Structure 1
Amino acid sequence: MVQIQSEVSLASATGPEQKKVISRKSTLDEDVDHGAETDLHRSLSTRHLTMIALGSAIGMGLWLGSGTSLQKGGPAALVIGYVLSGTMVWAVSQSIGEMAVLYPLPSAFVQWAQIFIDPAVAFTLGWAYWIQYFITVANELQGFVTTLNFWTDKVPTPAAIIIAWAIIVFINVWAVRFFGEVEVCSSAIKFFWIIVVIISLIVISAGGSPGEGPIGFRYWNIAPFTNGFKGFLSVLPICIFAMSGSENIALVAAETSQPRTAVPKAVNSIWLRLSLFYILGSLAVTINVDPQNPDLFGNSGSNASPFVLAYKSAGLMPLAHMMNAVIMISVLSTGSISAYAGARTLMGLAHINMAPKIFGRADDDGRPWAGVLSTLIIGGGISFLNVSSSGAEVFTWFSNLTSLFVLFGWGIICLSHIRMRYAWVAQGRPLSSLAWRSRWFPFSAYWGLVWCVVLMGLEFYLSVWPLHEASSVSNFFANYVSVVAVIVIYAAAKLFYRTPFWIEGTKVDLDSMRRFYRTDTGAGRPTRDKKWRLSNMLSALVD
């Protein structure tokens, strides 16, 4: 059998400016993929990639945030908000898929921005996303307190936070493979239970419970929008926060053994599953729960999940307790994934010399200790804001902060994809030589980018003229401080790097941080499986 030798320059774990040469001898029949190597281990499979990305987006935002959204905007606003968010997740996933196959890097979209747009944008995105991750850790810890209070209020809030924080720490400091298995198990529980929820709530609404007769669309008929257009706008940040996390697939790709096969399969199924779960789940809860229920999360009572209240009102307390247990598992899972993602974001920043070098190192088991501990310690610390404020107030504040960071991140991901395609063509490379191509480009990328800009503008309006509150400087900064932070960080980074608005297409470095695949050699034929192109929508439903 013919032997070949491949010598390539790779970006090392300490930064792209330091190169190392790896020589590999293999047969033509063997997989000789190479490139995009770091200290992280490629110990996760397609199963881990898909389940982690899905699981990270099903957490407190759906189970608890739907209550706040229902109370502020009404049933129609909640469902429409998730429909819009679902289309944006689809658009972002398409952009991620194409770039993550070629560039499976530790902080993914941060490093993509550095390659295709501008170092100042990458610096801003990286630190903004890291802030978003540790805020999400804090928010999920707060969610643990809320779910625990459904059973007992005897446990002091600080003690409950410490218990949840210790569990998340344990999951993240164990081996990466253990983290992956924990997330697969918790995601499987969420998927099974949300199917149970959708079916059971439809049965309850039709009158199949001992608690009350048929409900139908009673609450939709009374008030589909409880606070008009402004109420609808107030729902959007919570919907965006709820569906955020699906982009973590880009981070996990760096620790996947076969990103070329794993990433396309994941991105083509994630958006569809999330949309179905969120849209059907929100529809099921809106036909069963009164937006004016005082015990609803965000109202004046016990601040319970709307899903728990639906079972409680129906006289199905065993299901209410099971629902609350699943919510507790969900918030711990999402908190764990956020700590994981925050550590990888810091690692990627260190690799492009935008964070201290210590964050760029991992131990022999592939754990970036400095990033993990920093994210967990800061996230755990700010979670204690819940001690002196109500859970719903803290949740609303945190979700507003993180949703704007997420919109900025989603927009930059779509813009990076647009710039990558532009640079690829500008340098005379055929699109058929891409390892995987999104069939929806450029529509998907522009759809995601435009909606991110529009929603950030609408949130500016809501921050200046908030719902049920007078306009004030304090209210504005409380709701829009994320965007202010992004502008300040970007301006400082631009002054430091003194680079053009963006890198010219012909000067974009398309290869130094790229992963090369065996079939890249030769005539540059498409490497995408055409059968997958024709059947991806159907297989996404059954895989």
Structure 2
Amino acid sequence: MQSSEVEPNAEAQKALDHGADSSLQRRLVTLHVVMVALGTSIGMGLWLGSGKCLATGGPASLFLGYFLASTIVWALSQSIGEMAVIYPIPSAFVQWTNHFVDPALGFTLGWSYWMLYATGLVNGVQGLVTVLSYWIDSVPVIAVLVMMFVLSLLVNLAPVTLFGNLEIFFSSIKFLWIFIVIITSVVITSGAAPVGDSIGFRYWTTYGFINGFKGFLSVLPTTIFTFAGSESAALTVSELRNPRKAVPKAVRSIWVRLAVFYILGSIAVTITVDPVSEGLFGNEGSGASPFVIAFQNAGLPGLSHSMNFIILISVVSCSLIGSFGGARTAVGLAQIGMAPKICQKADSKGRPWPSIALIMIVGGSLTFLNLNHSGLEVFGWFSNIAALFTLFGWGMISFSHIRFRRAWATQGRTVEELPWASSTYPFCAYWALFWCIAIIAVQFYLSVWPLHEKSSAKTFFVNFVSIIFVIVLYTGAKLWFRGSFLVDLKTVDLDKERRFYASTSDETGQNSGEKPKSRLLEACLQSYRIACGAVKS
């Protein structure tokens, strides 16, 4: 008899599954985590950052940068999926690093990611200012700042289901719109738009790699910033009713957003927008998204205004995810004694008030940097900060997965005992780890020898401050925690903070570690057996 597809009641699920509990509540369902995974990828990085990449590196560099970043994120999702199912805990990868790698690195990763989420509010405000500038000549930045702050605060103080439902709404709109963008881009480049002739791959031929190989390298940090937050879905698992069902579905959906949003999306930009357009975000004195420029130049004002509105929704969505992620990261840090104990507290509705207050105060204060600097300048600062923090985080997620699997094998446990196992291990874990290290090295090179700038201490500090922050934080944490550089895998408690599920099979009746079988295929096979007389009807 087939199991029901309806999500079980949260309390009933707790009666079946146990472990890995916190003061947060399991109010989110499968659709929430899938939409958060989709929604985090469609934000300011894609709509605006692609313009900066196009202007700096050219069409070929933009496409290759997004393709490489896509492979890293796909590999990373495999590690996150496996770890999140068995250890669905607040702050997720922070606690995984603390448990399987080193407490000092866990502390460093936790507060680095917390800073990443805090700076997300800054870029959110700047994104809104840039978007609104398309309609308003002089945008009151302080008003936008207050509006974003209040909105983020209200959503975080509401029950977590409101956050989840908002992400379903926002992600659905963004997901549908990307198809409109791709189809319209084909129409524009073929010369069928009201204004303009056939473009094809003209810009690839004319510009290709702007600034050569160094231009391509300069694109990589921005592409990583575009994908920053794709791991945020892991922070929702502690509030999921059934991680074993929801997380694998989110992992299996990753190829959709990578292929459609970034691979096809990057091609759409390169075949419709001239890299040297004066109004392009990324060029001097610029402000508009490349997608908005494409529609505007093609004589499609209705679509250009609609596109700008979609960007506004995307920026708000990603800012909300940032404040949500920052609060949950603080909860997880408090749970392992790396943040004040008060941050661990939540009310009867599962809202971590102290952690929410902390992220809103710091993030809100940082947003005042928008008042005295240009949008492109602020975007450059914080995209570099976000990219390096993200690379450090992704690297630690991959390394934690490698260490977890080694500990699992060292203590005599088998892959079949995992509630869900990635079939791509160890290739994906090592692939993501290698590229995280490589791109950090690239950013160091660009910080010392920047593109179109003279080397200076100021430029180095602005571009590489994230890693400096990480090194200082790790040094202080290591002096405090002491001990060996890596935890002993033989003594790691593999059942600490673990979620124990009611059975070793998931809702589709498959054993852990196996690929889910199609029910339609199984029914066809059964009919074939009956027809052949293999079994009695």
Q: After TM superposition, is the score higher than 0.5?
A: yes
Report the Cα offset of residue 124 of structure 1.
0.3
Q: Which moved more, 1:358-367 or 1:167-176?
A: 167-176
Q: Deviations over 1:409-436 (max 9, x none)?
A: 0000000000000000111111110101
Match of 1:516 among 492, 496, 500: 500
**Residue 423 (structure 1) aligns with:** 407
State the identity %: 53
CA contact (8 A) 1:144 1:161 kept: no
Query: Quick one: distance in 2 between partners of 1:279 and 1:460?
Result: 27
**Residue 471 (structure 1) aligns with:** 455
Match of 1:281 among 251, 265, 271: 265
Query: Quick one: distance in 2 between partners of 1:172 and 1:461?
Result: 39
Q: Deviations over 1:240-266 (max 9, x none)?
A: 011121111111111110000110110
Report the Cα offset of residue 528 of structure 1.
4.0
> How does 1:25-36 map onto structure 2 within 5 Å?
32-36=16-20
Report the Cα offset of residue 202 of structure 1.
1.1
CA contact (8 A) 1:246 1:270 kept: no
Match of 1:134 among 86, 93, 118: 118
Amino acid at match of 1:487: I
**Residue 477 (structure 2) aligns with:** 493
Amino acid at match of 1:527: S
Query: Quick one: distance in 1 between partners of 2:343 and 2:14?
Result: 34
Q: Which moved more, 1:220-229 or 1:265-274?
A: 265-274
CA contact (8 A) 1:437 1:528 kept: yes
Match of 2:347 among 350, 358, 363: 363
**Residue 482 (structure 1) aligns with:** 466
Report the Cα offset of residue 58 of structure 1.
1.1
**Residue 266 (structure 1) aligns with:** 250
CA contact (8 A) 2:421 2:514 kept: no
SS at match of 1:74: helix
Say whether 1:157 aligns with 2:141.
yes
Q: Deviations over 1:103-131 (max 9, x none)?
A: 00010000001111110010000000000
Report the Cα offset of residue 31 of structure 1.
6.5
Q: Which runs of 4+ in 1 moved over 4 A?
A: 532-535
Query: Quick one: distance in 1 between partners of 2:184 and 2:449?
Result: 39
**Residue 335 (structure 1) aligns with:** 319
SS at match of 1:506: coil
Structure 2 unpaired stretches of 5+: 1-10, 521-537
Amino acid at match of 1:66: S
> How does 1:289-438 map onto structure 2 within 5 Å?
289-438=273-422
**Residue 5 (structure 1) aligns with:** none
Report the Cα offset of residue 494 of structure 1.
0.7
Amino acid at match of 1:403: A
Query: Quick one: distance in 1 between partners of 2:213 and 2:119?
Result: 28
CA contact (8 A) 1:82 1:275 kept: no
Report the Cα offset of residue 30 of structure 1.
11
Amino acid at match of 2:121: V
SS at match of 1:515: coil
Amino acid at match of 2:19: G
Amino acid at match of 1:57: S
Report the Cα offset of residue 377 of structure 1.
2.2
Report the Cα offset of residue 451 of structure 1.
0.6
- Structure 1 length-normalised TM: 0.91
Match of 2:490 among 503, 506, 519: 506
Say whether 1:450 aligns with 2:434.
yes
CA contact (8 A) 1:54 1:274 kept: no
Say whether 1:168 aligns with 2:152.
yes
**Residue 69 (structure 2) aligns with:** 85
Query: Quick one: distance in 2 between partners of 1:511 and 1:204?
Result: 56
Report the Cα offset of residue 275 of structure 1.
3.5
Structure 1 unpaired stretches of 5+: 1-24, 536-543
Say whether 1:220 aligns with 2:172.
no
Report the Cα offset of residue 322 of structure 1.
0.2
**Residue 190 (structure 1) aligns with:** 174
Say whether 1:204 aligns with 2:198.
no
The 1:534/1:383 distance shift into structure 2, 3 A limit, reads farther
**Residue 527 (structure 1) aligns with:** 512
Query: Quick one: distance in 1 between partners of 2:372 and 2:519?
Result: 54
Report the Cα offset of residue 504 of structure 1.
1.2
Report the Cα offset of residue 482 of structure 1.
0.6
Report the Cα offset of residue 267 of structure 1.
1.1
Say whether 1:231 aligns with 2:180.
no
CA contact (8 A) 2:130 2:287 kept: yes
- Structure 2 length-normalised TM: 0.92
SS at match of 2:133: helix
**When you count strand as a share of all residues, which structure comes out higher?**
1
Q: Deviations over 1:157-199 (max 9, x none)?
A: 2112222222222222211111110111000010000110011
Report the Cα offset of residue 276 of structure 1.
2.5
Q: Deviations over 1:59-83 (max 9, x none)?
A: 0000011111111111111111110
Q: Which moved more, 1:329-338 or 1:52-61?
A: 52-61
The 1:311/1:133 distance shift into structure 2, 3 A limit, reads same
Match of 1:45 among 29, 36, 49: 29
